[in-house]
Structure 1
């Protein structure tokens, strides 16, 4: 299979940004998406609403953080770059401010294994990185640490990050993380949620290696 072009990936990023809005995971100009491309990455620009975004607006960046686009990249480009650089097995990063993920982030609370679907994020917890101002190196360092051996995390008083080997998987994980946080919030109102064991989640993580969205087999 031939490598996707920058334009094809940019079209997918635009579609993903619009999906964040329609799925209720983001609003206005909030949220950003990146996808690895060759020796750099493609990044959403700063300040353009998803419904106005065009493929040609997507900024091609180097791993040194430079670009030659007329538009500035998202202010959060640094943690996108650092995650992709630190985690070569990943190809996409989705950042958004969905209501329930952000509510737990406002409380600086990690999410425990209250449902087996937490395994989609790679482990028995979804960690919450400590607060740092947006767009800073400090935030990037905190995000990378919170994602150690994980695919998703919360950012205190800010939002969430979901990653994946493909953009489709990163977007799927963002949806699953918000659903889990919503369910956890409701369970806390009912009583004390039961926490699944680390061993059970480890078994589920293994089973999830082939779980989630996938491409259809190629036609013969």
Structure 2
């Protein structure tokens, strides 16, 4: 495998492409999703003790709405934590995993993190407030939405990276394919592909891009 289709939205797609190039792959950047901030007034943060971010997109959209950086920010993983620090948040704690690990981290913090605000997608991949229900008071704030780009599949690719279930649904609508490999960030991200996509599906061992690249394997030699 050498030509790897990057389906995630920008600006993440370019970062992923740079990492693939450094590993010796040939990235083919054709995003299936685009991120659109949801226009709204600055959020009322009175009574909010902490923030929880489930993606870097949530960080960017929320940071554009308010200059307030006084509350601690808990993030699903290190990439989101890096985005939070770059946006000006000084107290940042990463769960270094998935939504369940973020929920466990917040529950371990106890009442100190509530009430909690969760700036996220209009249609999030997971429901963090539901995971916290009865343990930590939390409410979601939709700050962006992912919309399909209606892009066509590239003419040639050996593998395709799937970062979300939403991207997998868009990919499935373009199939069936002819035996290429799809490497998904998690089982939940791969689920919409079903068993009729024509793709050979691999899963990252942990829900992060480093593990996703490991599942991708090594690039084929040029001939």
> Considering the TM-score relative to the shorter chain, is it more than 0.5?
no
* Interval containing the TM-score (normalised by the shorter chain): under 0.3
Q: TM-score, normalised by structure 2?
A: 0.26
Larger helix proportion, structure 1 or 2? 1
Q: TM-score, normalised by structure 1?
A: 0.26
Larger strand proportion, structure 1 or 2? 2
Larger radius of gyration: 2
